[in-house]
C-alpha cells in the first residue's frame, strides 16, 4: 500500500510533467505557426521586389530576355538569403532567368519552378515570377532565436520542476506528518484511551478529521458512561424483584409463609415486572438495530386515534382521568408509518401520561391530538403535571425516571423506545412543560416516507 506522501509526490510530479508537456507542445505549435507566417511574408516581399525589377526591365528594353535579365537579377541577390530559388518568365511563360541558392541544402540542380505570379503593367501581363522561400531554420538569425528560446524554455522547465519538487516535498512532509499524528491519536482512541487532545490542523480536511475524532471521543465517553449507568440500573431493577422473589420463595419453602392467593399475586407481579423489563430491552435492541427495517403502510389518522381512544379510556378512567383524542385537520388524513412501531410508541406516551398524572396526584384530562403540519404529521400527548426543567433533557434516556427512589412502576424504557421509534421512522420526539400546568410530549413524523407496502 502506497503512503500518502508517495501519492502526493506522484500526483504533483505527474502534474508538473503534464504541464511541461503542454508548454513544449505549445512552443512547437507556436514555432511552426511562426515559420509558416515567416515563409508567407518572405514570399510576398520577394514577389513584390521581383515584380518591380521585371517591370523596370520591361520598360527599359520592351521585352524580357536572358541577357537583359541576368545583369538586373544579379543585383538583387543581396536579399536572396531568405530564398531557396526564384525564376523569371516572359509574358508567354518562357523562362528567362533562374536562380538557385547554392548554400540551401536538399535542393537538386535540376529543380525548377512553375510560373506563379503575373507581373502587370497598365493591366497587361508583361511577365511571370516564381519563388521558393528558404526554410525558417536555414536563416542563422532565426535559428539562433529558436535555439535561445529552446534553451530558455528548458532552463525554465528544469528550474520550475526543481522548485515544484522542493515545495511539494516540503508540503508532503507536512501532510504526512499530520496524517501520521492523527493516525497515532486514533490508534490510542481505538485502544481505549479517552483523554486524547486533538490539536487544530493547518489543512481543512485534516481539521475536519480532527474535529470528527474529537466528537467521536466525546460520544464514546458518553456512551461508556451511559452503558455503565444502564448496567447499574438494570442490575438494580432486576435485583429488587429477584431478591423479593427469592426471599418469599425460600420463606414458603421453609414454611414461614403460606402460598395464599394474595401472596401468589405478589409473586406474579414481580415476575411480570421482570418480564416487562426483558421484553422492553429486547424491543429496544431490535428497534435500534440497523438491520431492522420499518414496514411502512398508509395509516388513516381517524382510525388510528379511535384505536388509542378505545384502548386507554378504561385505563384513564380507572385513574380518575379523562382521555380525549382529536384530529386537528379538515377532511380525511392519511400518513405513512409502521403501524406496529407507531402504536407501541403512542401506547408508551399515553401510558406515561396516565402514570405521571396519577403519581402527581392530579386529576384532569389527557389529550391526544393528531395534526398535519406542512410536510409533517404531529401527534401530541398532554397530561396534567410538571417535570423539573433540569430533568427534561434526560427523559428519553435509558431507564431514566427522574426520581432517585426509583419507586415508579415500569421498566424505565418506555420513553427511550419512543425516541428509538421516532428515529427509525425519520421523525423526532420532544417534551416540555406548558403554561397551563401540563406536560406535552410531541412526536413528529414526515408525511412522505419510503413507498408503502
**What is the distance of C-alpha 325 from the center of its chain?**
45
- 48-52, 78-82, 360-364, 368-372: segment of lowest average pLDDT: 78-82
Where does CATH 1.10.287 sit in the chain?
204-288
Choose the most confident range, by mean pLDDT, from 140-149, 377-386, 443-452: 377-386
* Mean pLDDT in residue range 165-182: 78
How far is 342 from 304, CA to CA, in rounded Å? 10
Question: Residues 10-28, buried b or exposed e (16+ Cβ, 10 A)?
Answer: eebeeebeeebeeeeeeee
From the list 385, 390, 430, 389, the residue with the least C-alpha distance to 408 is: 385
- CATH class name, domain 204-288: mainly alpha
* Mean pLDDT in residue range 101-110: 66
**What is the distance of C-alpha 340 from the center of its chain?**
36
Inform me whether the pLDDT recorded for 228 exceeds 60: yes
Bigger pLDDT: 372 vs 263: 372
Inform me whether the pLDDT recorded for 261 exceeds 80: yes
Q: What fold does the segment set 4-138 form as a domain?
A: Beta-Lactamase (3.30.450)
From the list 378, 306, 369, the residue with the least C-alpha distance to 335 is: 378
Where does CATH 3.30.450 sit in the chain?
4-138
10 Å Cβ neighbour count for 58?
A: 19
Residue 430, pLDDT score: 94
Residue 401, pLDDT score: 61
Given pLDDT bands bounded at 50, 70 and 90, which one contains residue 46? confident
* Mean pLDDT in residue range 232-243: 74
Report the CATH number of the 297-446 domain.
Answer: 3.30.565.10
Mean pLDDT, the chain, rounded, equals: 83
Percentage above 90 pLDDT, the chain:
21
How far is 395 from 145, CA to CA, in rounded Å? 84
How far is 402 from 130, CA to CA, in rounded Å? 108
Amino acid at each position: 500500500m502506497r503512503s500518502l506522501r508517495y501519492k502526493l509526490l506522484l500526483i504533483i510530479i505527474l502534474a508538473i510533467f503534464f504541464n511541461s508537456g503542454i508548454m513544449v507542445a505549445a512552443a512547437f505549435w507556436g514555432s511552426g505557426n511562426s515559420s509558416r507566417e515567416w515563409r508567407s511574408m518572405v514570399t510576398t516581399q520577394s514577389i513584390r521586389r521581383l515584380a518591380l525589377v521585371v517591370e523596370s526591365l520591361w520598360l527599359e528594353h520592351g521585352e524580357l530576355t536572358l541577357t537583359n535579365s541576368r545583369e538586373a537579377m544579379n543585383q538583387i541577390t543581396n536579399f536572396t538569403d531568405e530564398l531557396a530559388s526564384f525564376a523569371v518568365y516572359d509574358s508567354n511563360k518562357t523562362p528567362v532567368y533562374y536562380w538557385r541558392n547554392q548554400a540551401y541544402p536538399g535542393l537538386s540542380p535540376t529543380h525548377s519552378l512553375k510560373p506563379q505570379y503575373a507581373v502587370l503593367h497598365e493591366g497587361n501581363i508583361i511577365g511571370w515570377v516564381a519563388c521558393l522561400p528558404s526554410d525558417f531554420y536555414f536563416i542563422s538569425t532565426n535559428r539562433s532565436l529558436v535555439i535561445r528560446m529552446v534553451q530558455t524554455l528548458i532552463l525554465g522547465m528544469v528550474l520550475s520542476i526543481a522548485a515544484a519538487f522542493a515545495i511539494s516535498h516540503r508540503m508532503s512532509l507536512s501532510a504526512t506528518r499530520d496524517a501520521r499524528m492523527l493516525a497515532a491519536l486514533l490508534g490510542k482512541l481505538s485502544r481505549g484511551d479517552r483523554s486524547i487532545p486533538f490539536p487544530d490542523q493547518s489543512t481543512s480536511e485534516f481539521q475536519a478529521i480532527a474535529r470528527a475524532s474529537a466528537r467521536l471521543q466525546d460520544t464514546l465517553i458518553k456512551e461508556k458512561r451511559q452503558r455503565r449507568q444502564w448496567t447499574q440500573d438494570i442490575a438494580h431493577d432486576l435485583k429488587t424483584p429477584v431478591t423479593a422473589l427469592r426471599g418469599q420463595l425460600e420463606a414458603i419453602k421453609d414454611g414461614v409463609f403460606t402460598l395464599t392467593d394474595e401472596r401468589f399475586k405478589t409473586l406474579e407481579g414481580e415476575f411480570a415486572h421482570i418480564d416487562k423489563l426483558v421484553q422492553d430491552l429486547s424491543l429496544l435492541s431490535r428497534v435500534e438495530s440497523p438491520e431492522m427495517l420499518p414496514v411502512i403502510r398508509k395509516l388513516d389518522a381517524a382510525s388510528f386515534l379511535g384505536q388509542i381512544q378505545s384502548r386507554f379510556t378504561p385505563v384513564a378512567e380507572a385513574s380518575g382521568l379523562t382521555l380525549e383524542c382529536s384530529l386537528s385537520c379538515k377532511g380525511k388524513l392519511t400518513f405513512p408509518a409502521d403501524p406496529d412501531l407507531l402504536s407501541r410508541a403512542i401506547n408508551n406516551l399515553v401510558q406515561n401520561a396516565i402514570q405521571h398524572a396519577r403519581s402527581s396526584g392530579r386529576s384532569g384530562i389527557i389529550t391526544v391530538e393528531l395534526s398535519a403540519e406542512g410536510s409533517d404529521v404531529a401527534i401530541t400527548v398532554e397530561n396534567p403535571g410538571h417535570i423539573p426543567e433540569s430533568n427534561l433533557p434526560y427523559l428519553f434516556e435509558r431507564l431514566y425516571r427522574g426520581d432517585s427512589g426509583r419507586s415508579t412502576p415500569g421498566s424505565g424504557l418506555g420513553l427511550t423506545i419512543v425516541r428509538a421509534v421516532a428515529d427509525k421512522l425519520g421523525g423526532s420526539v420532544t417534551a416540555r412543560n406548558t403554561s397551563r400546568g401540563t406536560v406535552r410530549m410531541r412526536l413528529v413524523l414526515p408525511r412522505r416516507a419510503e413507498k408503502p407496502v
